[in-house]
Amino acid sequence: MEYNFRDIEKKWQQAWIDNKVYQVPSLSDKPKYYVLDMFPYPSGSGLHVGHPLGYIASDIFARYKRLKGFNVLHPMGYDAFGLPAEQYAIEHGVHPAVSTEKNISTFRKQLDNIGFCYDWSREIRTSDPKYYKWTQWIFLQLFNSWYNRKTAKTEPIATLLAILEGEGNQNHPIPDSQFQIEGLTSLTFTAEQWNKWDEQTRQIILMEYRVAYCGYGEVNWCEALGTVLANDEVVNGVSERGGYPVVKKKLRQWYLRITEYADRLLEGLQRVDFSDAMKDMQGNWIGKSTGAEIRFSVQNSSEVIDVYTTRPDTIFGADFMVVAPEHEVVVKIITGEQRTEVEEYVAYVKSRSERERMMEKKISGAFTGAYAVHPFTGRPIPIWISEYVLAGYGTGAIMAVPSGDERDHKFAQYFNIPITNIFGDLYTGEEALMSKDVVLYNSDFLNGMHPERAINLVVDRLEQMGIGRAKVNFKMRDAAFSRQRYWGEPFPIMWKGGVAYPLDEKELPLELPFVESYKPGPEGEGPLANIPEWTERQLETNTMPGYAGSSWYFLRYMDPHNEEAFCDQRFSNYWGQVDLYVGGTEHAVGHLLYSRMWTKALYDLGHISFDEPYKRLLNQGKIGGDSRLVYRVKGGNTFVSAGLKDGYDTDELHADVNMVNGLELDIEAFKQWRPDYAGAEFILEDGKYICGTRLEKMGKRYFNVVNPDDVVERYGADTFRMYEMFLGPVEQDKPWDTKGIEGVHRFLKKLWRLFFGDAGLQVTGEKATPEELKVLHKTIRKIEEDTERFSFNTSVSAFMVCVNELTDLKCTKREVLEPLLIILSPYAPHVSEELWHQLGNTTTVLDAPFPKFEPAYLVESSKEYPISINGKMRTQIDIALDATQQQVEAIVLANPVVQRWTEGKPPKKIIFVKGKMVNVVV
RNA sequence: GCGGAUGUGGCGAAAUUGGUAGACGCAAUAGACUUAGGAUCUAUCGCCGCGAGGCAUGGGGGUUCGAGUCCCUCCAUCCGCACCA
pLDDT for A876 equals 60
Between CA A13 and C1' B3 the distance (Å) reads 46
Burial A186-224 (b: 16+ CB within 10 A, else e): eeebeeeebeebeeebbbbbbbbbbbbbbbebbbbbbee
pLDDT for A286 equals 93
Neighbour count for residue A921 (Cβ, 10 Å): 13
d(CA A533, CA A577): 42
| A741-747: long-range pairs with CB below 8 Å, 24+ | A741/A711, A741/A715, A744/A715, A744/A719, A744/A796, A745/A715, A745/A716, A745/A719, A747/A722, A747/A799, A747/A800, A747/A803
DSSP-derived 3-state class of residue A429: coil
d(CA A342, CA A340): 5
Q: Which nucleotide is nearest to A277 (CA to C1')?
A: B4
pLDDT for A886 equals 62
Q: Which nucleotide is nearest to A622 (CA to C1')?
A: B79
Among protein residues, the one whose C-alpha sits closest to the C1' atom of B6 is: A732
CB A352 within 8 A of CB A456: no
Q: Which nucleotide is nearest to A885 (CA to C1')?
A: B17
d(CA A125, CA A103): 12
pLDDT for A526 equals 84
Bridge partners (DSSP) of residue A618 are A582
d(CA A394, CA A135): 33
Between CA A798 and C1' B24 the distance (Å) reads 7
Between CA A779 and C1' B77 the distance (Å) reads 36
Between CA A315 and C1' B18 the distance (Å) reads 50
Q: Which nucleotide is nearest to A231 (CA to C1')?
A: B81
Among protein residues, the one whose C-alpha sits closest to the C1' atom of B27 is: A739
pLDDT for A10 equals 94
Between CA A473 and C1' B84 the distance (Å) reads 9
Strand B nucleotides, any atom under 7 Å to a protein CB? 3-5, 11-16, 19-20, 23-27, 39-42, 65-66, 78-85
pLDDT for A694 equals 80
Burial of A466 (C-beta count, 10 Å sphere; 0-12/13-18/19+)? exposed
Q: Which nucleotide is nearest to A434 (CA to C1')?
A: B85
**How far does CA A260 lie from the centroid of its chain?**
21
d(CA A175, CA A544): 23
pLDDT for A79 equals 95
pLDDT for A248 equals 75
d(CA A327, CA A396): 7
pLDDT for A701 equals 81
Kindly give the pairing relationship between strand A760-761 and strand A756-757.
antiparallel
d(CA A103, CA A571): 31
Among protein residues, the one whose C-alpha sits closest to the C1' atom of B25 is: A743
CB A333 within 8 A of CB A368: yes
Residues of chain A with pLDDT under 70: 1, 176-185, 354-355, 859-922
**How far does CA A653 lie from the centroid of its chain?**
34
Among protein residues, the one whose C-alpha sits closest to the C1' atom of B66 is: A871
Between CA A898 and C1' B49 the distance (Å) reads 38
Beta carbons within 8 Å of A243's beta carbon, 6+ residues apart: none
Q: Which nucleotide is nearest to A311 (CA to C1')?
A: B85
Between CA A804 and C1' B41 the distance (Å) reads 13
For helices A792-808 and A717-726, angle between their N-to-C axes, nearest 10 degrees: 120
pLDDT for A137 equals 98
pLDDT for A762 equals 87
Cis before A509? omega within 30 = yes
d(CA A313, CA A453): 8
pLDDT for A861 equals 52
pLDDT for A860 equals 60
Kindly give the pairing relationship between strand A660-661 and strand A664-665.
antiparallel
Cα dihedral: A102, A103, A105, A107 (round 10):
170
Neighbour count for residue A679 (Cβ, 10 Å): 8
> Is the ipTM value over 0.90, yes or no?
yes
Neighbour count for residue A826 (Cβ, 10 Å): 27
Q: Which nucleotide is nearest to A781 (CA to C1')?
A: B16
Beta carbons within 8 Å of A552's beta carbon, 6+ residues apart: A134, A135, A138, A566, A595, A598, A599, A602
CB A333 within 8 A of CB A297: no
CB A120 within 8 A of CB A76: yes
Q: Which nucleotide is nearest to A396 (CA to C1')?
A: B85
CB A354 within 8 A of CB A321: no
Kindly give the pairing relationship between strand A623-633 and strand A650-655.
antiparallel
Q: Which nucleotide is nearest to A357 (CA to C1')?
A: B83
Between CA A711 and C1' B10 the distance (Å) reads 26
DSSP-derived 3-state class of residue A18: helix
What HEC string does A195-220 produce? HHCCHHHHHHHHHCCECEEEEEEEEE
pLDDT for A884 equals 58
pLDDT for A181 equals 61
Between CA A881 and C1' B18 the distance (Å) reads 22
Between CA A800 and C1' B31 the distance (Å) reads 25
pLDDT for A910 equals 66
Burial of A780 (C-beta count, 10 Å sphere; 0-12/13-18/19+)? buried
Bridge partners (DSSP) of residue A155 are A146
pLDDT for A165 equals 94
Between CA A434 and C1' B32 the distance (Å) reads 73
